[in-house]
Structure 1
């Protein structure tokens, strides 16, 4: 099937009917990997099964995760969905613009937020790119409608030549790298608790665009380990005193 490698991730869905309808939309487009993050209802409820119609097996095979990070751990590309512009985060793009990235990925994921709020900033931080379905002035889509439309856009890539066959790092590898970077920033005084989140978002945006391979993420972490060792060694020898960099060197406004 064209989108068989695409995982559709629903974050904290509220109603069984929406989950069932989303499953049906996935099956229509050839996607079969449904993942639920902290659902607020039973995805095997009779209403969900009724709305899924022929996608009932897809519901039964769905995997449930406590956090988005765990749901994305084995994915090498995560695409968030949002209808809003968020500060410090890249602006949403048209799904067709993201199609080459999805086509080139080995294990892409498409992430949808709760029905009432959509994805929050902490969820979108874990997505390399964000898409928005172009609509009229009234931009509120039913969850299943959104799943159907974005999967349809990605389905158009089936006859396109992949932009690259390059294997990128999994999201778990990238999240571990970002955690390591965050620790190193604090260690060397590059940022502080107040500015850390903003600063790390800027680094995430830049490094996610690089589409690092697993080896490259390990290479980057090797540099971070060397920096940490050097700082701690200097501190033991009494040759370095921790000092924060000026504000204009720690973050780009």
Structure 2
């Protein structure tokens, strides 16, 4: 799993995340459009013995090549804000992924925006006090990595099962869109809601390749 730091502005936070990654045996740090120097003295000092993670960090402009994207948010939604309908770190840790997986840590200031969360397969949030829900990004990352590490040491049922790839999911999303266009909705907004719900259901369900193909066959018959 890649840990993707999105548009970070503070080198120290990047260094702290690198340190947490080493604590919990994560090695791939990715910087999405960084706004600071991740190899500055501040960052290297905060990383302590995880400097190699910083030095090997990859800088990217987008995350289009990931099979599964996991977004993060501190702001919980309602039934009507489908973008912010997350799972907990513990629930995430029990899921099995195949292919290229990225865990996005949102901006230090305002986190991930609705349209960015909409591109993610899964959204995760850390339960905190409603009086002050927002955590420092490095502290939040540490909790997420701890939960993932803790459960990675347990044998997971289904490790040998083939899971749906990004291409598989894109193919079924395309079919969902084609099917929705043929159905009558009172408004375009209702059609868009259906589209978003399908995307979230498929992302959260972490479907196997076989399950996705059965669903694909069903939708083709409807179409």
Q: Do the aligned residues in 2 keep the contact of 1:20 with 1:59 (CA within 8 Å)?
A: yes
Deviations along 1:28-51, one digit per CA (max 9) or x if unpaired, are 111111122222223233332232
* 2:173 alignment partner, one of 175, 178, 185: 178
* 1:162 alignment partner, one of 156, 160, 169: 156
Structure 2: which 5+ runs fail to align? none
Q: Do the aligned residues in 2 keep the contact of 1:83 with 1:92 (CA within 8 Å)?
A: no
1:93 aligns with 2:87: yes
What is the aligned-residue RMSD (CA, Å)? 2.9
Q: How does 1:67-216 map to 2 (within 5 A)?
A: 67-70=62-65, 73-75=66-68, 78-86=69-77, 87-89=81-83, 91-101=85-95, 104-107=96-99, 108-136=101-129, 137-165=131-159, 166-171=161-166, 173-175=168-170, 177-179=172-174, 181-186=176-181, 188-190=182-184, 193-214=188-209
Q: What is the number of equivalent residue pairs in this alignment?
A: 216
For the residue of structure 2 that corresponds to 1:68, the secondary structure is coil
The residue number in structure 2 matching 1:49 is: 44
Which of structures 1 and 2 has the bigger CA Rg?
A: 1
Following superposition, the deviation at residue 173 of structure 1 comes to 4.0
For the residue of structure 2 that corresponds to 1:130, the secondary structure is strand
User: 2 CA distance for matches of 1:68 and 1:27?
Assistant: 23
Q: Normalising to structure 1: TM-score of the pair?
A: 0.71
Structure 1: which 5+ runs fail to align? 1-5, 229-253
